Amino acid sequence: MAAAKTFRGGIHPQYNKESTAGEPIRAAAPPSQVVVPLCQHIGAPCEPLVAKGDHVLLGQKIGDSSAFVSAPVHASVSGTVAAVETRPHPSLGSGLAVVIDNDGQDELDPSLSGAGSPGAVSVEDIRRAVREAGVVGLGGAAFPTAVKITPPQGKPIEVVVLNAAECEPYLTADHRVMLEETQQTLDGLGLIIKACGAERGLIAIEDNKPDAVAAMSEALAAGKGPAGVEVQIVLLHTKYPQGSEKQLVWACLNREVPSGGLPLDVGVVVNNVGTAGAVARAVAHGTPLYERVVTVTGSPVAQPQNLRVRLGTSFAYLIEQCGGFVKPVAKVINGGPMMGIALPGLDFPVVKGTSGLLCLGQDEADVDVVGPCLKCGRCVENCPMFLAPLWIAAYGERGLHEQAERLGALDCMECGSCAYICPARRPLVQAIRHSKGEIMARRRQEARRAAPAG
């Protein structure tokens, strides 16, 4: 295999994947109650389709939206709707959710059915099945997959890249999926390629996962890949944030996604490994996205592992499934340490974008003393987006958001490389994120003013 590919910039944090990389996926027992948020995706939130007292079936659609950029949500257990009310949300803070008391029967919605075999199903059938199943990107962004595999007119797709980098420290869910669900992953890749009208597919894997490289390579060599389509493995150098779409496209294809643009602007669609499996299940069986694999890890966790979890399961229940804590917890993170969101506790539900639950002890979560910027340039040197984080953050802290915008604040993907490498421990990402919010708020206000009356 060719030498590992990579991108300019980035960092090499401690990856800490050893505790779960060798742990097979285990199905967590469904909890007695689930809290299913009606917004688990980028785009318009869903409106509830059920009310308190309704009986629902496993996989039944319980929320939907007429908006193009959206994705329906489904019941992850069968039982009775206990409430439709505002509840804690791991990324939004709070949001409307459907609370379901589990009846323990897992009675499947009989209306669910597959669209057809991969070779016979049409492009429209694939897109329709994926949309109805509520599939979104499972790498964390949660962008509706039906939208992604429906490229706009004038944007032909040449290549589909299957993102198997999983560069975020601690997380190993995608790694295990590649090893344990190899065929389903390849089937999903083939369906995505067909839906996009692409010519070929690439499976991009970091070189710290040689067993996954071997599993995928052996399956392709045995003819288990998509029929009639060229699919290749691309070995990537282990570096963060290798799995970011723009960096992935550059490393794999030497194509630069333009500022403010998307991979489709250079003829590429990127999908996560877990997403491919969800696509395969949606098309073959009509199975909605009501569960996903989550890495539960960190030194306080008694038995770190990868769990297949029903959406709406509380983080506290996941910890119980892993044997509880063996020492005090100082920080709880939805996701990984670089791009995850720190939470005030465990009273939050698993959503479609929950790739991991990371718990840290006090020795790992101690806050460093923030010092003045040293103008050392390390943040500039390591920024994978070729930005100047120190200046963007400085303008943001001072409310000079127009200047921050001119320096490319909106191109920042908030990967955290700058903050990680900063010797003064400056909160660069927080300052840039705040400035981006102010810039977007101003743009929305200007758009409303420019809109014709009535």
Residue 265: DSSP 8-state: G
Confidence of residue 452 (pLDDT cuts 50, 70, 90): confident
Whether 183 shows a pLDDT value over 90: the answer reads yes
Listed residues 261, 285, 309: the one ending a domain: 285
pLDDT at 364: 86
Whether 197 shows a pLDDT value over 80: the answer reads yes
Residues 73-110 have pLDDT tens digits of 999 999 999 999 999 999 999 999 999 999 999 999 99
pLDDT at 24: 96
Return the CATH number at 277: 3.40.50.11540
Residues 405-439 have pLDDT tens digits of 999 999 999 999 999 999 999 999 999 999 999 99
pLDDT at 369: 82
Percent residues over pLDDT 90 in the chain: 93
Residues 375-406 have pLDDT tens digits of 999 999 999 999 999 999 999 999 999 999 99
Share the mean pLDDT of the chain: 95
Number of Cβ atoms within 10 Å of the Cβ of 26: 16
The answer to whether residue 16 sits within a structural domain is no
pLDDT at 119: 80
Residues 276 and 412 in one domain: no
Whether 116 shows a pLDDT value over 70: the answer reads yes
* Gap between the Cα atoms of 269 and 202, Å rounded: 10
Q: What is the pTM of this model?
A: 0.94
- Give CA torsion, residues 131, 135, 139, 144, to 10 deg: 30
- The answer to whether the beta carbons of residues 216 and 346 sit under 8 Å apart is no
Whether 1 shows a pLDDT value over 80: the answer reads no
Residues 399 and 265 in one domain: no
Confidence of residue 365 (pLDDT cuts 50, 70, 90): confident
Whether 6 shows a pLDDT value over 90: the answer reads yes
Listed residues 264, 285, 306: the one ending a domain: 285
Whether 454 shows a pLDDT value over 60: the answer reads no
Q: Mean pLDDT across the stretch 159-175?
A: 97
Rg (alpha carbons) of the chain, rounded to whole number: 22
Listed in sequence order, the DSSP H helices in 69-162 are: 123-132, 145-148
Which residues form the domain of 125?
113-285
Domain count, the chain: 2
The torsion angles phi and psi of 207, rounded to 5 degrees, stand at: -80, 5
